A and B are shown apart, each in its own frame.
Chain A
Amino acid sequence: MSDKNRVSKTIALVGNPNVGKSVIFNHLTGDYMTVSNYPGTTVDVSQGMAWISGESYQVVDTPGVNALIPYSEDEKVTRDLLLKDTPDVVVNVLDAKNLQRALMLTLELIEYRIPMVLALNMMDEALDRGISIDMKRLSALLGVPVVSTVAVTGEGLADLKRAVNQACVPSLQVPLTEDIVRSLNVFRGFWKKDFSAHQAVALALLSGDSSVAFGMQDHLSEGVSLQDVWKEAEKTQAEFVRSPRQLIFNARKALAAETLADIMTVQGKMSFSWLGRVGHWTMNPWPGFFIAGIVLYAVYQFVGVFGAGILVDFFEEDVFGEYLIPAARVFFDSFVPWTFLHDMFVGPYGVISMALTYAFALILPIVTTFFMAFGLLEDSGYLPRLSVMLDRAFRLIGLNGRSIIPLMLGLGCSTMGTVTTRILDTKKEKLIVTILLSLSVPCSAQMAVIFGMTAGLSVKLLLGWLLVVVGTTLFVGWLCSRLLPGARSSFLLEIPPIRLPLLKNVYAKMKARLKWYIWEVVPLFVLGTLILFFLDKLRLLDMIEKMAAPVVQTFLGLPGDATQAFLIGFLRRDYGAAGLFQLQKQGALDLHQVMVSLVLISLFMPCIAQLFMVFKERGWKWTAVIVAFVLTFAIGIAGLVNGVLKLFPGIL
């Protein structure tokens, strides 16, 4: 983006977490970014194009920040974007009902000297609370255009687009104390005359954020090095009696309070809201745990019973089993006489008979229902409340309640979950969650197949599986919290208000996730099937089965055919599980073997996409460690389960 020959101007959306930046992004660009009702949905910068008054703009959505002195990775992303990729316009999105806090960030943003527009979002919620805001006055004080929006309904977005053209560098200055101003002048000399964000950088340095200067060499005056800058910062900090960070903060706080008093009036008392009441209930032990139970049961009924049972049966037995596959067979039987090609599509390892059937009949109905249920939960604001309830449990495994967000997302798709570990504070927590996501947290697609396999079998089996998987998660988490270096961080999370999800938005989110899912899954399924197909044709499959026999057959007590399921499990765990499902349907697995194979495939290797993500987020060393650990640990636990079942054959 920093190329000089870029064609379009850039707009960056910046604001506190959970104020609706991504909704505005979606409206401006027509693209779709995941939007939820909790802070931290956007962890990386996303970009799209928008046409505004006949001009094309590149729009950048940024992770929400509370301050531009970063405390976490996602906050650093936003700060670096402002400083290094300097957008042409910043749209500062504010929560109109929480202006005091929003203004603190605005006052920090104005130091970057980038043309700005203010969007007072969630104006409807502010009005409901009797808050009225003098936007003209605010605009005059800051010296930038101010518009009001209700992003979820699209209200005010046309005004926002018009305002983008009139964006200007804020004229407001935060009145700082004399000694701060004096040291700002010293810092001014270090930077080239045309470096507009010099004051923002100097204030960050004075506040003790030395990371701000990294990569800023190009802006330094002749003969000045970064070392000089850091040395000066250290020296100045030592000279102050009260910390400069505090002084700067106090100055902003005073100005924000003054501004607020000038522009905002609140009339009437807040009326009773039953949504607010429900929000409180969900966080108290009673009835919070009861509500959590109901919610989980409802999700199970919808995803496990309706999705994995009724819908899968319909698609697999009726749509694919009765019509599509027989039709494809007839077609290939009569028009494709060449056995090789014939088998490639409709044989035992055929693209249609295996890959597409698994992807569309078995897994799609379940992920669809899961994404729908999950979207409702996300948009209602329930997830952060669940993390309040579960914080104490998470402490046992070296995490805090905040970790529930990547872990729950991981139930949808472990790859997404791995990316979201960025919202966690310490390296240790990120690592523990990454390990748990790689090892024992099954993704919805995988769970889908597991539900399918256990449906109709004994309840004891499902409970036994659950016990082993949850037990392993807790044990490994506990072990990691003891063994890994570093500390856990204290739980501190902002709880968004409970909102009634808009079905339109839940649907849009589900559609985007499904699209992504199909694009990712189907090619991998086809690839996996083709690999199996060629291995089978070349008679290599038997060889591999023989080689794996000591582990698969002797140690785990599974039939030789199960090897291929685990083989494709390297590509995707759910695909491996689907292979087991097929084996079970053919009657090749007894109860005991179903249990062992389910445990193994649940704990088995993360899929390829997730592995790439682990590699990207944690580096190759940790990826190698995680793979080695997961593989041996999964086989070890499955072997243990096999041993226990052999000792007590009547247990299932």
Chain B
Amino acid sequence: MRLHTILLGACSVVAFTGAASAETLTIATVNNGDMIRMQKLTDDFTAQHPDIDLEWVTLEENVLRQRVTTDIATNSGQYDVLTIGNYEVPIWAKQNWLLAIDDLPADYDAADLLPAIAGGLSVDDTLYAAPFYGESAMVMYRTDLAEKAGVSIPSKPKWVDIKKAAAAMTDKDNGIYGICLRGKAGWGENMAFLGAMSNSYGARWFDMDWKPQFDTPEWKATLTDYLELMNNYGPPGASSNGFNENLALFQQGKCGMWIDATVAASFVTDPDESKVADNVGFALFPEKGDIGNRGNWLWSWNLAIPASTQKADAAKAFVAWATSKQYTDLVAKQDGWRAAPPGTRTSLYKNADYEKAAPFAEMTLESINAVDTKKPSVQEIPYTGAQFVSIPEFQGIGTAVGQQFSSALAGNVSADQALSNAQQLTSREMMKAGYPK
């Protein structure tokens, strides 16, 4: 009888301890405005789930990528929720590094996710990450400068329209440059833009035998036109300009046009940050002639759950909360509709309050919906992707090619030499990686 009582007591203590100790989720995330806002709003989540504590690891994108890749590849399980891009999701899902995001609560409404975004996060029709925010690319231009120069930019422009407008708006004596584009080397910097531009020019990275295609007329036309635009109408020192540098230039009124990620629209129209907030117009990513491809730029930051986590249920609860419609409502209530994470849900773009608060909403949605990640180029290709190629080798190759093109922009090598170097280095890397597979 006494032993029985002791055992019962011990069981009770164990059960009580288990119930009292909260489960701690470690969340790795990037440092951007939307993610920091999520971090601030997590009291709402912990109020709903008092048994779950949250610990945040916030890092710059490249550091985070290196950090979580090491962790997930070695199955170390330091993180329970990861913030990763749509480049990594299909690659990691195929390696069985991620848990499927399949049994979400009924009110999550996965059918509401934008098809282009959900498609980029799915493998065999199974979702492996939940999108937190998404972006495509579009033209942002100064309506006042365009009017003064006597040019109009159509809502669905072609590259000839862009060239004409850039020439008309350039006024170098007064520090106004017709166009600002990324020039800083990197697969996520100048190659994000040039990858999308090449798609719109009908180029492709590889043919069906995985042979690089930098020796084709499409790539030559892409790079030649890019260099011509930037050398004639771009700002000085453009080879070191990335997203942030161009954002600063545009906000200070130095750029007539800027073609970049749709997420920039909220920054350039923010009167607290931008001197030109009231004079910004938007247009779709340009296309070349009748090719019928508007770049296929698509990026999303997503919440994924590594297969190594020991807390899958709690992690799923968090992912469902952070990417739900209720979270969007919470953000709108706290910081206004303009701050709602864009580019993931159809319902957001049917919301009249959001449409009113974000003048760029319609163009953002149209840009995202125009993307086809299964066929980013009009030519036959052996890969999926967008402004990138969804293979693990792309990070290294993209950055090395980006260095060649950045060097051409700086005037150190000719366009032909840069393309020839890109062809050689990509061929070498693909051969080393064992392609064709």
Pair from one complex: no
